[in-house]
Amino acid sequence: MNWYLEVLKKYAVFSGRARRMEYWMFTLFYILIYFALLIGLGFVAGAKIAGTIVMIYGLAMFVPSLAVAVRRMHDIGRSGWWILLPIVNLIFLCMDSQADENEYGANPKIA
């Protein structure tokens, strides 16, 4: 859960680098919370209200998820624009960090 909260603290920070673990743990908790809201609120409040709240959650998480994806691209030495290419960016998101400092900052594994 710390990884998720760290990304939220950097809500709209598109500079710097994000470790692979930071990106994937944020994604995991985002998906878990999304489905928990959808299912839990679906039972309690009904499908229409649950759908609305889940949509609001998704919109609220758009900027942090975009920011962490851009920082993840920076971590492997790529421009953030690579996230626009779906298949390629999935491969890049799974790659390990560049070992040394790159133009986007110091290696977050070392720092």
104 lies in a domain? no
109 lies in a domain? no
Q: What is the pLDDT of residue 9?
A: 94
pLDDT digits (tens, 9 = 90+) for 41-85: 888 888 888 889 999 999 999 999 999 999 999 999 999 999 999
108 lies in a domain? no
Q: What is the pLDDT of residue 111?
A: 62
What does residue 50 show for φ and ψ, rounded to 5 degrees?
-60, -45
pLDDT digits (tens, 9 = 90+) for 18-48: 999 999 999 999 999 999 998 988 888 888 8
Q: Has residue 96 got a pLDDT over 80?
A: yes
30 lies in a domain? yes
Q: Has residue 91 got a pLDDT over 80?
A: yes
Q: In 73-95, which positions are buried (b, 16+ CB within 10 angstroms) versus exposed (e)?
A: bbbbebebebbeeeeebeebbee
Q: Number of structural domains, the chain?
A: 1
Domain limits at 89?
Answer: 2-94
17 lies in a domain? yes
99 lies in a domain? no
